[in-house]
Structure 1
Amino acid sequence: MSSMADQFGFFSRRCVWVNGPIIVGAGPSGLAVAACLKEHGVPSVILERSDCIASLWQKRTYDRLKLHLPKQFCQLPRFPFPEHYPEYPTKQQFIDYLESYAKHLEISPRFNQSVQLARYDETCGLWRVRTTGTGTAAGCRSQEVEYIGRWLVVATGENAESVVPELDGLREFGGDVMHVCDYKSGEAYRGKRVLVVGCGNSGMEVCLDLCDYDAFPAMVVRDSVHVLPREVLGKSTFELAVLLMKWLPLWLVDKILLVLAWLALGNIERCGLRRPSTGPLALKNTEGRTPVLDTGALGKIRSGDIKVVPGIKRFSPGKVALVDGQVLDIDSVVLATGYRSNVPQWLQGCEFFSKDGFPKTTFPNGWKGQSGLYAVGFTRRGLSGASSDAVRTAKDIGRMWKEELKPAKRPVACHRRCISQI
């Protein structure tokens, strides 16, 4: 019965044959793979649910955000950052860079196309990707299109959806509550007592920003966390780690980084922060937990401007009870509780991705699945990992494009009469 309904839907919606890969996501990963494919002479179509490229950066980041790593580790393939950019570009500079990247390489995503379902059709030997319009134009939301093609590139990234945990009593709190994706600056919080839930890079920076606007942040630290200096003796800590990894085993590099962190930052346990027993690089590789690169928050913790508190027991009107018995009066809550992949919500019939939306095969082999499926931007290694995936994916598809498919070839097993071509 379900197959009959699906077959009926196939005829009822507009179907489009894609002469090349279907790329889902117009963030840095999607743009990078489209650019690399173009270099191999392979056309592609990018489907983006928002109305702009890099919507996470443009719409869901705070104003003071800068790249955490030096620009040479964040540039996309075939297009370096402008020379006049600082070592750590600002949010707006990075957005401008991505806009220039798309314009220079003539990449034009299809915006307001939210992917509802993608699956491999064994009968056709092709991928079928169903979208609905997400724009504000009349009738746009109900419009359905099915894109059909030989290859599917998943480039929605690691941070497609915000994570909002269930916290006892939060609905009873009564004050302002927002996820960090909606936080822009501390201007609206002047003089307010703000509870920031989460102690990653976002949590630390939001607390620092709140201090700059004369707010009173308290940061919830439930787990252990690695805090590293962003630079050591004027050199990027990340750049130093990359250099050391060329010659030394990971465990030894971790030990060196921790010694340098102790020399530069001192004993962070005196600030109420516990370090994990696993080293920062090993923890990143195994659990995807990124170390915090300190940009000044640690100093504010030491001065008392940022208060470190333990886990939450329960919220009540205007208050929060903590697991150690403290009760704090608070005005607002910012949930710096992270993001997650949304791939399991729309990719069906596929064993390549695990339930958490990441490839089951770890880096550096998690970029290619079966039946023409690829993943770009899931390495837990930031923009440099996405660029590496993009280059490999484009090279692999480019080889098949030249050897197995000719541009004039069309699907033979599907119903041609309902397929237009792009």
Structure 2
Amino acid sequence: MGPPLEGEPKRKCTWVHCPIIVGAGPSGLAVAACLSDLGIPSLVLEKSHCIASLWQNRTYNRLRLHLPRHFCELPLMAFPRGFPKYPSKHQFIRYLESYASHFGIQPHFGAHVQSAEFDVELGCWRVRVGEEEELVSRWLVVATGENAEPVVPEIPGLERFAGRVIHTSCYKSGVEFKGQRVLVVGCGNSGMEVSLDLCRHNARPFMVVRNSVHVLPREMLGFSTFGVAMALLKWLPLRLVDKFLLAMAQLILGDTDILGLRRPKTGPIELKNHTGKTPVLDVGALSHIKSGHIKVMGAVKEIRKEGVKFVDGREEEMDSIVLATGYKSNVPSWLRGDDIFTGEGMPKSPFPNGWKGSNGLYCVGFTKRGLLGTASDACNIAKDIHLHWNEKKNLATKSSTPTTEA
């Protein structure tokens, strides 16, 4: 990276003897906790002013964990016993805050990482924070995750729309849309839940379904569908488990194809493993689709000033548009010269081997396997750093031991 160019502001350069972790969401906290458990300190950098900023600032009020709590625990600390099976957004945030407190994690808030690059001469990572500071460390952990930035698709005519347009990262409650006709672009878990929330506040959602999607019941006969799948995968081939899940979904939910929700030809678990596309776990939206309260629409051809024209020729007036179009990694915007990430900011190697790069670079929270994947990566990263940490301590001890001449 070298010295600053002429005209650039001079930066305060600080040597950091411990790993630098970029991001104070669940992934960054998990790595910091695992390191702490092994007696290794860390420096956690967070550009916002709170931990888990995505959960605190970019999620809707009715959000609950889609999986039972024991599948969403971070390493070394369980949820409190009194928490429900599916904790709410606010309960999960409380859990993360107590997790950080328990392990003594104190992130540096307001620390916006501008860039990070490996310095070959130093053999260390140089991390530029803000306009005036540069940190140097042997280890760098990228924990900004898959969901760092909202994805806003290019839809013809969107700029002409006279009503309100927001991404789900800004959506809080359907109370703001009472009595409105709302176009919800996207039919993943967020699109389904936002549509359901709009219904419950007397709005009229029109949900755009452009591609095929697997919809599964959240529970089967009182047991978590995800839990059932994980248990069966220990004994049965993946495709047989997929067939079982689809048969149960047909029995419990009925034929979703007739509702405009075409299922992919690939089974839900196989599709998740190959593409990262998560099946929708139904929490009530499907019944509103069946009753007609949520209208399923095809692809959008163009947005007009007062409404929408669809590819099938239908036209509908709309008051607002909610983009349930997901998130993406922001790694390409700040990490330089790494060997671990693709141009889209995702690991080149699939889970469970994508957590480690070269020159002391690691990543966590990019597995497309939720908090279970995060926990796995965090443990691996801490163990690997621990090995090098002990090597460094042993070398330091040897170098400081006095020698005698014969």
Q: Percent identity?
A: 59
Are residues 1:280 and 2:278 paired? no
Deviation track 1:56-78 (CA, whole Å, cap 9, x = no partner) reads: 00000000000000000101111
- Following the alignment from structure 1 to structure 2, what is the Cα–Cα distance between the partners of residues 279 and 374? 32
Deviation track 1:225-282 (CA, whole Å, cap 9, x = no partner) reads: 0000000000000001111111122222111111111111110011111001111111
Q: For 1:46, give the aligned amino acid.
A: V
Provide the secondary structure at the position in 2 that maps to 1:12.
Answer: coil
Deviation track 1:155-187 (CA, whole Å, cap 9, x = no partner) reads: 101100000001111111110000000000000
Aligned partner of 1:73 among 61, 71, 81: 71
Q: Give the Å deviation of 1:5.
A: 4.0
1:131 corresponding residue in structure 2: 129
Q: 1:170-249, aligned counterparts within 5 Å? A: 170-249=158-237
Provide the secondary structure at the position in 1 that maps to 2:336.
Answer: coil
Q: Give the Å deviation of 1:404.
A: 2.9
Provide the secondary structure at the position in 2 that maps to 1:302.
Answer: helix
Q: For 1:93, give the aligned amino acid.
A: Q
Q: Does the CA contact (< 8 Å) of 1:219 and 1:307 recur in 2?
A: yes
1:51 corresponding residue in structure 2: 49
Q: For 2:115, give the aligned amino acid.
A: L
Provide the secondary structure at the position in 2 that maps to 1:113.
Answer: coil
Q: For 2:47, give the aligned amino acid.
A: R
Q: 1:342-421, aligned counterparts within 5 Å? A: 342-405=330-393
Q: How many residues align?
A: 397
Q: For 2:129, give the aligned amino acid.
A: T
Q: Does the CA contact (< 8 Å) of 1:32 and 1:390 recur in 2?
A: yes
Provide the secondary structure at the position in 1 that maps to 2:101.
Answer: helix
Task: Give the TM-score normalised by the residue count of structure 1.
Answer: 0.92
- Following the alignment from structure 2 to structure 1, what is the Cα–Cα distance between the partners of residues 395 and 216? 50
- Following the alignment from structure 1 to structure 2, what is the Cα–Cα distance between the partners of residues 302 and 6? 63
Task: Give the TM-score normalised by the residue count of structure 2.
Answer: 0.95
Deviation track 1:297-354 (CA, whole Å, cap 9, x = no partner) reads: 0000000000000000011111100000000010000000000011111111112100
- Following the alignment from structure 2 to structure 1, what is the Cα–Cα distance between the partners of residues 36 and 2? 36
Q: Give the Å deviation of 1:4.
A: 5.6
- Following the alignment from structure 2 to structure 1, what is the Cα–Cα distance between the partners of residues 67 and 349? 26
Q: Give the Å deviation of 1:405.
A: 4.2
- Following the alignment from structure 1 to structure 2, what is the Cα–Cα distance between the partners of residues 61 and 43? 31
1:417 corresponding residue in structure 2: none
1:415 corresponding residue in structure 2: none
- Following the alignment from structure 2 to structure 1, what is the Cα–Cα distance between the partners of residues 216 and 201? 25
Provide the secondary structure at the position in 2 that maps to 1:285.
Answer: helix
- Following the alignment from structure 1 to structure 2, what is the Cα–Cα distance between the partners of residues 65 and 408? 50
Provide the secondary structure at the position in 1 that maps to 2:348.
Answer: coil
Provide the secondary structure at the position in 1 that maps to 2:212.
Answer: coil
Q: 1:81-120, aligned counterparts within 5 Å? A: 81-120=79-118
Q: For 2:205, give the aligned amino acid.
A: P
Q: Give the Å deviation of 1:101.
A: 0.6
Deviation track 1:38-69 (CA, whole Å, cap 9, x = no partner) reads: 11111110110100000000000000000000
- Following the alignment from structure 2 to structure 1, what is the Cα–Cα distance between the partners of residues 263 and 5? 52
Q: Give the Å deviation of 1:392.
A: 0.7
Deviation track 1:119-172 (CA, whole Å, cap 9, x = no partner) reads: 11001000011111xxxxxxxxxx421111000101101100000001111111
Provide the secondary structure at the position in 2 that maps to 1:128.
Answer: strand
Q: For 2:233, give the aligned amino acid.
A: M
The two structures, once aligned, show a CA RMSD in angstroms of 1.5
Q: For 2:235, give the aligned amino acid.
A: W
Tell me, which stretches of 5 or more residues in structure 1 are unaligned? Answer: 133-142, 410-422
- Following the alignment from structure 2 to structure 1, what is the Cα–Cα distance between the partners of residues 102 and 3? 45
Provide the secondary structure at the position in 2 that maps to 1:314.
Answer: strand
Q: Give the Å deviation of 1:115.
A: 0.9
Provide the secondary structure at the position in 1 that maps to 2:166.
Answer: strand
Provide the secondary structure at the position in 2 that maps to 1:94.
Answer: helix
1:150 corresponding residue in structure 2: 138
Pair 16,7 (structure 1): closer, same or farther in 2 beyond 3 Å: farther
Provide the secondary structure at the position in 2 that maps to 1:313.
Answer: strand
2:325 corresponding residue in structure 1: 337
2:403 corresponding residue in structure 1: none
2:404 corresponding residue in structure 1: none
Q: Does the CA contact (< 8 Å) of 1:118 and 1:346 recur in 2?
A: yes
- Following the alignment from structure 2 to structure 1, what is the Cα–Cα distance between the partners of residues 83 and 152? 35
Name the stretch that deviates more: 21-30 or 241-250: 241-250
Provide the secondary structure at the position in 2 that maps to 1:398.
Answer: helix
- Following the alignment from structure 1 to structure 2, what is the Cα–Cα distance between the partners of residues 282 and 321? 35
Tell me, which stretches of 5 or more residues in structure 2 are unaligned? Answer: 398-406
Write out the 4+ residue segments of structure 1 that deviate beyond 2 Å after TM superposition.
2-9, 404-409
Aligned partner of 1:29 among 11, 27, 41: 27
- Following the alignment from structure 1 to structure 2, what is the Cα–Cα distance between the partners of residues 72 and 102? 18
Pair 146,5 (structure 1): closer, same or farther in 2 beyond 3 Å: closer
- Following the alignment from structure 1 to structure 2, what is the Cα–Cα distance between the partners of residues 217 and 254? 31
- Following the alignment from structure 1 to structure 2, what is the Cα–Cα distance between the partners of residues 12 and 165? 38
Q: Does the CA contact (< 8 Å) of 1:34 and 1:44 recur in 2?
A: yes
1:269 corresponding residue in structure 2: 257
Q: Does the CA contact (< 8 Å) of 1:19 and 1:407 recur in 2?
A: no
1:16 corresponding residue in structure 2: 14
Pair 4,42 (structure 1): closer, same or farther in 2 beyond 3 Å: closer
1:40 corresponding residue in structure 2: 38
Q: For 1:39, give the aligned amino acid.
A: D
